[in-house]
């Protein structure tokens, strides 16, 4: 009689990550405060004076709730780095307590949940006494990422260009320092990224009219098609949230740059003026015309994601990602067609299989692949502007001229940019493309 292949039980401590606005995030986190739960929150409200406050709420088996506050003073790096240095070891330590049956991390509104999830899965925690060097995922497993959305403000946040530091810390004596500590991320980048990285969305119906609510819902289902949306009234306490997380949930998984762009099967039809524009083509982009066309992705557009082939960089995959009024282009490695045989063999099987379905005899896997989520822009105008940036038939027949063109991208580019003709170099290529 054959032996059954039984998987060993996963004994890691379940972890729920909650992100979104402060008040709504706190209310949702409170719904998980059951016996055996510990809630961790890093409060950045005093970061302007160099202090991050760690708040810990523990609920014992008898229902007793204990709150402990610790000031983490002396910021010597960016806030994101500090949280990784404190949060990751803390997760490993808390998980060792057998009385803790679930950990809840409430993410500060100025931080990106995908970056924290990536760090949990990939950043090795070293130097813990009595513990082997390992990632936090050795001891905790992400059970769900719950995103909180303010129905009245999210869409305007997701389509603006305000910096996170400017919002979190209005101009003051230390304003510039805090903006630096929070780097140059925008409110839109955080808002869009947190929704995209969520397994479940709790949307507060905060006085938004029916049309705006329908439009917001149309945006959310296209941005995070795997995540069910739970609408609640002000003051309402959502219940049984974990039971609504689908089996197909990402649970902290961060897509790399070569993953399918329409994963989760988002609706492709238009609704309330919201639609996804899918742009694909085999021809490379002209770098100058593409740079000029970028503006079309910054007005009336919620977000853009995708892979670019620019004529001046024939071997490089460029990853484009936008949110609201900000856009970045970064390196995402090489095209499979440009790899040496040993590099090709080391490439993920799923990527090679996907590329093989549309392999071109001349270009290999080189191609344009972009998805643009518009809410006010004209989809036809967006598509036409990108099409006009492709090489013309004459340019396509003269590849020896491509290297002579000015390239405003290099390996990294941001818009709005200071100069239309200068390339911006970067040594921190897109993390998820590795």
Give the pLDDT confidence of 102-122 residue by residue, as tens digits: 999 999 998 999 999 999 999
Judged by DSSP in three states, 311 sits in coil
367 close to 358: Cβ distance less than 8 angstroms: yes
Band (pLDDT 50/70/90 cuts) for residue 231 is very high
Rounded to whole angstroms, how far apart are CA atoms 259 and 432? Answer: 10
- Structural domains of the chain in order of their starting residue, each with its CATH number: 13-244 (3.40.50), 275-433 (3.30.1220.10)
Rounded to whole angstroms, how far apart are CA atoms 355 and 351? Answer: 6
b/e code 235-245 from CB counts within 10 Å (16+ = b): eeebeebeebb
Please say whether the dihedral angle defined by the alpha carbons of residues 106, 107, 113 and 119, taken in this order, is positive or negative: negative
Res 39 pLDDT > 80: yes
Give pTM, 2 decimals.
0.89
Q: Which of 21, 51, 43, 142 is nearest to 91 (CA)?
A: 142
Average pLDDT, the chain: 88
Band (pLDDT 50/70/90 cuts) for residue 243 is very high
How far, in whole angstroms, is CA 242 from its chain's centroid?
21
pLDDT digits (tens, 9 = 90+) for 126-136: 999 889 999 99
Rounded to whole angstroms, how far apart are CA atoms 336 and 360? Answer: 12
Please say whether the dihedral angle defined by the alpha carbons of residues 210, 211, 212 and 218, taken in this order, is positive or negative: positive
Rounded to whole angstroms, how far apart are CA atoms 424 and 406? Answer: 13
7 phi, psi to nearest 5 deg? -75, 140
Residue 173: partners with Cβ closer than 8 Å, 6 or more residues away: none
330 close to 318: Cβ distance less than 8 angstroms: yes
94 close to 136: Cβ distance less than 8 angstroms: no
Q: Output the pLDDT for position 173.
A: 53
Band (pLDDT 50/70/90 cuts) for residue 6 is low
Q: Output the pLDDT for position 212.
A: 94
Within 10 angstroms of residue 61's Cβ, the number of other Cβ atoms is: 10
Average pLDDT on 371-393 reads: 98
Of the ranges 39-53, 75-89, 242-256, 405-419, the best mean pLDDT one: 242-256
For Cα atoms 31, 122, 366, give the angle at the middle one, nearest 5 degrees: 110
Within 10 angstroms of residue 256's Cβ, the number of other Cβ atoms is: 17
Unique residue bearing structure tokens 């822009």: 377
Band (pLDDT 50/70/90 cuts) for residue 432 is very low
């Amino acid at each position: 009689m054959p032996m059954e292949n039984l998987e060993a039980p996963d004994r890691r401590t379940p972890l729920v990550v909650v992100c979104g606005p402060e008040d709504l995030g706190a209310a949702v986190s409170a719904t998980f405060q059951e016996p055996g739960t510990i809630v961790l929150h890093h409060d950045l409200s005093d970061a302007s004076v160099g202090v991050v406050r760690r708040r810990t709420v523990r609920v014992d088996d008898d229902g007793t709730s204990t709150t402990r506050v610790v000031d983490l003073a002396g910021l010597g790096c960016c806030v994101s780095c500090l949280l990784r240095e404190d949060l990751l070891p803390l997760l490993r330590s808390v998980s060792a307590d057998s009385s803790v049956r679930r950990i809840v991390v409430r993410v500060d509104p100025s931080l990106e949940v995908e970056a924290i999830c990536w760090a949990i899965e990939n950043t090795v925690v070293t130097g813990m006494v009595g513990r082997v060097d390992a990632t936090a995922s050795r001891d905790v497993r992400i059970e769900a990422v719950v995103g909180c959305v303010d129905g009245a403000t999210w869409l305007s946040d997701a389509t603006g260009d305000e910096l996170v530091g400017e919002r979190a810390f209005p101009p003051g004596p230390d304003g510039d320092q805090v903006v630096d500590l929070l780097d140059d991320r925008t409110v839109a980048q955080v808002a869009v990224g947190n929704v995209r990285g969520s397994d479940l969305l709790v949307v507060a119906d905060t006085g938004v009219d029916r049309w705006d609510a329908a439009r917001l819902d149309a945006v959310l289902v296209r941005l995070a098609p795997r995540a069910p949306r739970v609408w609640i009234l002000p003051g309402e306490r959502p219940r049984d949230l974990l039971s609504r997380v689908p089996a197909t949930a990402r649970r902290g998984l961060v897509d790399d740059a070569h993953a399918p762009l329409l994963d989760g099967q988002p609706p492709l039809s238009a609704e309330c003026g919201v639609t996804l524009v899918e742009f694909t083509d085999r021809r490379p982009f002209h770098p100058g015309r593409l740079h000029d066309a970028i503006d079309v992705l910054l007005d009336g557009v919620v977000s853009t994601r995708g892979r670019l082939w620019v004529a001046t960089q024939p071997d490089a995959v460029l990853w484009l990602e936008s949110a609201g009024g900000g856009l970045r282009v970064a390196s995402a490695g090489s095209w499979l067609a440009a790899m040496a045989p040993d590099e090709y063999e080391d490439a993920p099987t799923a990527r090679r299989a996907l590329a093989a379905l549309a392999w071109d005899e001349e270009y290999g896997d080189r191609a344009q692949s972009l998805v643009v989520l518009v809410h006010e822009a004209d989809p036809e105008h967006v598509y036409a502007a990108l099409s006009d940036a492709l090489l013309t038939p004459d340019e396509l027949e003269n590849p020896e001229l491509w290297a002579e063109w000015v390239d405003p991208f290099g390996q990294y580019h941001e818009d709005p940019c200071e100069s239309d003709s200068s390339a911006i170099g970067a040594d921190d290529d897109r993390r998820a493309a590795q």
